[in-house]
Structure 1
């Protein structure tokens, strides 16, 4: 009597095709593919290292991630470098505005009185304008301020304010070196 019963391997092949209609067989195939994908994703997630970086604004969280990227051989390509330029230009303008303002509040005299005009020009720049969309400044706009920024950075009054930066919040420029 056992001779006419199908084997398990025969049932595995026959059941999906013999007893199910085409739609049901297709659903089973899709289900198995989804299960395989989930299994692959599970393996990937187990290997994934996640880090939660907590800290106050401007405490170096993004800088840390950029350094890790470089350390592990994933240097920035030319497009990424181009994308950062606008942010750098914006940070330079904002930082110089902070220094000009701090020089005044700390009652530090200008090294060269002619730099008052450059200071006024930089302070008149509206950091919330359309020119600074998304915190990025276009190179052509930045170049209009380059001469003033260079003159201000060379001014002994600005350098004195920079030396006293612990007395006010100077965002993003703490790694600048004097020439």
Structure 2
């Protein structure tokens, strides 16, 4: 450019401000802000690691993701804990039912014969209900069975069945011995 003309950088700053009305200048400012946000988002997405976990049902895919979340310091907030509560209740009911059924099929006697009533009570629970099907059992429903489940878990017959869990499919309760 000739020496008497302003440089390009001066034109970039002065020209829009001088020739545009307030609305157009505001639109340009918003456009630049959006471009900066998109650039930051693009950088974030490039750093994002995506994993495809394949496996049979109940093979531990969700558990793996939850453990990774905890290991990397992203603990569960109160809402996430509340969301998992119904699933946990549902899994405990299903698990104790499997143990009661397995105890009978494996011909393991009750440690305390009075636990037969608790076993019958738990086995009468309707696992086909809509709440059980989507794993969202309410706390009030679970608490009706809590003392029976606690007594059953303490029974030596149920513990014996649990020790023999390799002989039947026990979903979601592995690693609980002694709790």
Q: Given the two structures, how large is their TM-score scaled by the length of structure 2?
A: 0.78
Instruction: Indicate how the Cα distance of structure 1 residues 3 and 114 shifts in structure 2: closer, same or farther if over 3 A, else same.
Output: closer
Work out whether 1:146 is the aligned partner of 2:146. yes
Work out whether 1:169 is the aligned partner of 2:169. yes
Q: Do the aligned partners of 1:131 and 1:141 also contact (CA within 8 Å) in 2?
A: no
| 1: CA distance, partners of 2:86 / 2:145 | 14
| Deviations, residues 100-157 of structure 1 (Å, cap 9, x unaligned) | 1222333334333332221111011112436648423333332221221122223333
Shift of 1:78: 5.1
| 1: CA distance, partners of 2:124 / 2:15 | 79
| 1: CA distance, partners of 2:164 / 2:113 | 20
Instruction: Indicate how the Cα distance of structure 1 residues 7 and 83 shifts in structure 2: closer, same or farther if over 3 A, else same.
Output: closer
Structure 1 unmatched runs, 5+: none
Q: Given the two structures, how large is their TM-score scaled by the length of structure 1?
A: 0.78
CA RMSD of aligned residues (A): 2.9
| 2: CA distance, partners of 1:175 / 1:22 | 67
Work out whether 1:29 is the aligned partner of 2:58. no
Matches within 5 A, 1:48-59: 48-59=48-59
Instruction: Indicate how the Cα distance of structure 1 residues 68 and 155 shifts in structure 2: closer, same or farther if over 3 A, else same.
Output: same
Q: Do the aligned partners of 1:110 and 1:155 also contact (CA within 8 Å) in 2?
A: yes
Matches within 5 A, 1:132-143: 132=132, 134-143=134-143
Partner of 2:9: 9
Aligned length: 178
Instruction: Indicate how the Cα distance of structure 1 residues 152 and 82 shifts in structure 2: closer, same or farther if over 3 A, else same.
Output: same
Shift of 1:172: 0.8
| 2: CA distance, partners of 1:18 / 1:80 | 53
Partner of 2:45: 45
